[in-house]
Amino acid sequence: MDLWLQLEAQVNVFLQSLGAWLTIPMSALTFLGNEEFFLLAMPFLFWCVNASLGFRIGVMLMLSNAVNAFFKVLFRSPRPYWIEPRVTAYTAETSFGVPSGHSQNSASLWGLAAAKINRRWVWVVFSLVVFGVGLSRLYLGVHFVRDVLLGWILGALLVIAFTRWEKAVCDWLRPQSLQRWVLLSAAAALVLLLLMQLPIALLSPGGYPAEWAQAALLAAPEKPITPFERSGSFTIAGTFFGMTAGYAFLLKHKGGFDASGLWWKKALRYLLGSGVLLALWFGLGQVFPRGEDLISYILRFLRYTLIGVWVSALAPILFMRFGLASPILRPESTQKT
């Protein structure tokens, strides 16, 4: 372990010395940066609050995850409990440490939401959430300070880039045909997939110290590390493709989706939509093979493509068919992407 990591590990040791009573509140904070939290919150936002914002949050989640996966393999850095026996693994992770995915996702997603709402109190509250998520990762023993800081920086850069280029991209996309939108979605998903696969192909032969795997297994026997696993990249690319292609279909055929309405209609939307979403996620997960082979990769991509299409197109169309929501009918030239 190098000197800087030794010094940074003292932060983890100090925070954990404050007491195990912090485990529950820190786990609650870390959940606000979990991919699972955003995968539950994004459909709620899309179906029940604001479809345009929900779509943007979904796109940002996929972009952030892809960038994070790229840098994790590129840096190949350990987690605190892999190398410092004094650090307790209150939770366990299977990937490399730098940058912190929770810190990056919270900064990019809560940051984008704050930028869109653009109220001072929202910026303050969401910034506290982002800080709390990063702090929780240090306490739980899964990240060094550098991991969290780089995650925050990358998340902030993604928000800046997104808000800077969003209007230009939307203005260019708006007059394009549906067929071209779908092709562009497929091309973008392929780029994300290649971005995540490239460092694995180049760096996985070098491996990582066996001591890391042994220490991680000792700390969390139920979660052996698999930092070069490829299946996650197909999850991200498939979800991105399904979500963006589905949203394009919704815009072109319905003009959009009005997420406003009576509270009971919103509740029914979320219950119905989430029920099918869980059926696709869990049901197909039981049927399709889970492995590190080509067939498993293809079926995983298909599974998450279906999930993305359901959230962004099929569910809203079903809601409108059942009278639980209304389309936004307007000329195609003025549609908001």
| Per-residue pLDDT at 333 | 39
H or E stretch at 326: strand 326-327
Name the amino acid, one letter, at 132: G
Contacts of 198 (CB under 8 A, 6+ apart): 70
| Per-residue pLDDT at 161 | 97
Rounded Cα distance, 194 and 182, in Å: 18
3-state SS, residue 257: strand
| Per-residue pLDDT at 337 | 57
Of 218, 197, 196, 273, nearest to 83 by C-alpha is 218
What are the φ and ψ backbone dihedral angles of 326, each rounded to 5 degrees? -125, 150
The model's pTM is: 0.92
- Please check whether residue 142 is in contact with residue 81, taking contact to mean a CB–CB distance below 8 angstroms: yes
Contacts of 89 (CB under 8 A, 6+ apart): 81, 140, 141, 142, 216, 219, 220
Cα separation values, 18 from 6, 8, 9, 11, 161, Å: 19, 17, 15, 11, 38
Of 99, 56, 57, nearest to 75 by C-alpha is 99
**Radius of gyration, CA atoms only, the chain:** 21
Rounded Cα distance, 270 and 273, in Å: 5
Of 101, 163, 115, 107, nearest to 132 by C-alpha is 107
What are the φ and ψ backbone dihedral angles of 4, each rounded to 5 degrees? -65, -40
- Within the chain, which residues score under 50 in pLDDT? 331-335
- Tell whether the torsion through CA atoms of 25, 27, 29 and 32 is positive or negative: negative
pLDDT 10s digits, 240-262:
999 999 999 999 988 888 999 99
